[in-house]
Amino acid sequence: MMDNNEFEKIFKQHLAADQSRLDRIENKIDKLADTVIALARAEEKLINLETSRIQVLGTLDNHEERLDSHDKRLQEGDVTLNTINKVFWTALTAAIGSLVVYFIGT
């Protein structure tokens, strides 16, 4: 049979092997925890980027609406300006025609 010293020696070797195995498992768990934390941070960054993208798109939509509104106003102003231009030239032509008739008629 084994005496106490041999039994104690084998028991210590077994404990050392188990401790080594537990240390390796603990290191792997630590690496997994670090990876999970990194994934959570990456997910948070993606959520922030998506939120920023939605805000930028909203701002662009607002600017596009404002530009469309200004474009409509400019087109209305262009129609008004063309009408004023036609009325001016028609009035000028009528005035010149009236002057010509007045001077020729007298």
Q: Read off the pLDDT band of 38 (50, 70, 90).
A: very high
Instruction: Note the pLDDT of residue 1.
Output: 55
Q: How far apart are CA 4 and CA 7, in angstroms?
A: 5
Q: Read off the pLDDT band of 62 (50, 70, 90).
A: very high
Q: How far apart are CA 100 and CA 102, in angstroms?
A: 5
Amino acid (1-letter code) at residue 93: T
Q: Read off the pLDDT band of 88 (50, 70, 90).
A: very high
Q: Quickly tell me which residue has 């005496």 as its tokens.
A: 3
Q: Read off the pLDDT band of 2 (50, 70, 90).
A: low
Average pLDDT, the chain: 91
